[in-house]
Amino acid sequence: MDLRYWIIAVPAKPSRETAYSSIQHSCNGIADCAKFNVPSSLRVGTLDSLMSMSDELVKIDHTVEVTAKKIGHQIYSLKEQKPEKNTIFLSIGGASLSDYIRRFQWDTAKYSVRLSVQELTHRFQEQVGSIEEEYRQKMTDYSNVAHAVAQYERSLQANLAIRDLTDLVDVDDIIDSEFLITLFIVCTKHQEKEWEAVYESFSSDPDSAPSKDSGGRPSVIEYVVPGSSRRVAEEGDQCLLTVTLLKRFKELFKQEAVKYHVTVREVKIDKENYKSGKEKYQEMKKEMKEKQNKLFQWCQTNFTEVFTAWAHLKALRVHVESILRFGLPPEYVAAVIKPFKVSNEKTLRKNMEKLFAEHGSIHMQDLKEDVPGFNANEKFYPYVYLEMDLNYCKD
C-alpha cells in the first residue's frame, strides 16, 4: 500500500471556496481531500529573499525527512510486536500521522509567524540537527552493547579457537603470577599426542636441540613446567589443553607453538572480582534491554518533534512556492490529498491538469528549470506539488 500524501496549492481564484471545490471535484471518488491550513499571517519578505530561500528549503526538507525516517524506522525495529507492513502506526498527540496532516494547525507558540522565512528555516534546521546528533550518539551507545551481546552469542556457536573460554576453564587452574603464567592450547584430538611429546622441549635457544633421557623427557627444561599440560575441555574434534611456563618466555613459547599448528590462547581473569562468561552475558543483556527501552522512549518523543517540524516546513514551502509561482499577494488554497489507490494517480493528475491548466502554461513548462524549488528532473505540474511519505515500516 502506498502511503504518500500529496500537498498541493492552487491560486484562490475566483475565490478560496471555489478553488477548494475544484480540488475536491478532481478527487471525487478516487482520493481523499482535506484543507492544509497554512497561516495567512506568515511573513512574506521580498521576492528576492524568497527566491534565495527556495532551493535551501528543498535541501532542508530532504534532511528533515531523512531524520524522521531514521527515527520512525528505529521505533518500528524496536517494537516487540511489529505493526502490519504498509500501515500508519505512529501518532502525534494521540492522532495518527494522516489525521495530523489532514488537520494540520500551525503551532504559533513554537514557530512564531512573526519570524522571517530565513529565521523559521534556521529554527527547523537547528532543532532537527540537534536531534539527529543526539540520535547518532544514542544509537552508537546502544549498538555497542547489542554488538557485545551478539558477539558473545555467536562465540557460543564458534569453535574453541575463538569462543569465550571463561565458562570452560576453572579459575583456580589459571596461574598469572610474577614469574609464571598459564596458557591454553587449542588443537585437534589427533594432534594431542604430538603436542604432549614436544611442548616440554621448547628451548630458549632456538639452535639447541635438547637430548631426551630414557624417560622420554628432555634433559634440560628451559621454561615450560614439566607435566603442566592437561586436557580441560573438548568440543567436537577439538580439545583444550593447559600449559604453564615462565612468564618472560610467553612470546617465545607462542612462536614455537605456531610451528606445530596449534592455537595458543590467553585467558585474563580478575580472580577477586571474577564473573563467568554467562554472568557477564546476563549483565550485558540486562544493560541492552535498559538501553533499548530508553532508546524506544527517546525515539517516540523525538519523532514527534521531528515530524511536526517537517509538517511546518512543508507548510512554509507551500507558502513560499505559491508566492513564487502565483505572485503577490499570497492568495492560494492548499490541500492534502491521498489517492485511494496507486492506480488512481494518473486519473487524478489528468483531472487536476484540466482544472488548473491555466496556471501551468507551455511557456512555464519549457522554463521549468527556472521555477524556484523545482528539480529539473521532476515532472512539472500546474499547481504547487509536495509529498510526504508516511510509511515508517522498515523494509
| Residues 123, 125, 130, 131, CA torsion sign | positive
- Long-range CB contacts for residues 216-219, cutoff 8 Å, separation at least 24: none
Domain 171-275 has CATH 3.40.190.10: no
pTM for this one? 0.76
Least confident piece of the model among 264-268, 317-321, 336-340 = 264-268
Q: Would you list the DSSP string of 350-372? A: HHHHHHHGGGS-HHHHHTGGGST
Answer yes or no: same fold for 4-144+286-389 and 171-275.
no
CA distances from 385 to 195, 201, 292, 349, 374 (A): 76, 82, 39, 11, 10
Q: Which three cell numbers stand for residue 123?
A: 529554527
Candidate from 17-31, 116-130, 186-200, 357-371 with smallest mean pLDDT = 357-371
pLDDT tens for residues 53-69?
999 999 999 999 999 99
Q: What is the mean pLDDT of residues 299-304?
A: 98
> Is 23 within 8 Å of 33 (Cβ atoms)?
yes
C-alpha 62: how far from chain center: 17
CB 359 within 8 A of CB 28: no
Per-residue pLDDT at 352: 93
Determine the Cα–Cα distance for residues 351 and 357; give it in Å rounded to an integer. 10
Which architecture does CATH list for 4-144+286-389?
Up-down Bundle (1.20)
- Amino acid 358 reads E
Torsion of CA 91, 95, 97, 100, to 10 degrees: -140
192 residue type, one letter: E
Report the distance separating Cα 73 and Cα 393, nearest Å. 6
Query: Distance between the two ends of the chain, CA-based, in angstroms?
Result: 13
What average pLDDT does the segment 352-369 reach?
A: 63
The amino acid at residue 387 is E
pLDDT top residue among 164 and 76: 76
Tell me: cis bond preceding 382? Omega within 30 of 0 counts.
Answer: no
How far apart, in Å, are the Cα atoms of 244 and each of 193, 210, 252, 357? 18, 19, 13, 89
Compute the distance between CA of residue 341 and CA of residue 218 in angstroms, rounded to an integer.
85
Structural domain boundaries in the chain: 4-144+286-389, 171-275
pLDDT computed for residue 47 by the predictor: 83
Is 60 exceeded by the pLDDT of residue 214?
A: no
d(CA 105, CA 109): 11
pLDDT at 166 over 60: yes
DSSP string, 276-318: -HHHHHHHHHHHHHHHHHHHHHHHHHHHHHHHHHHHHHHHHHH
| Mean pLDDT computed over every residue of the chain | 88
Is 330 within 8 Å of 50 (Cβ atoms)? no
Strand partners, 32: 338
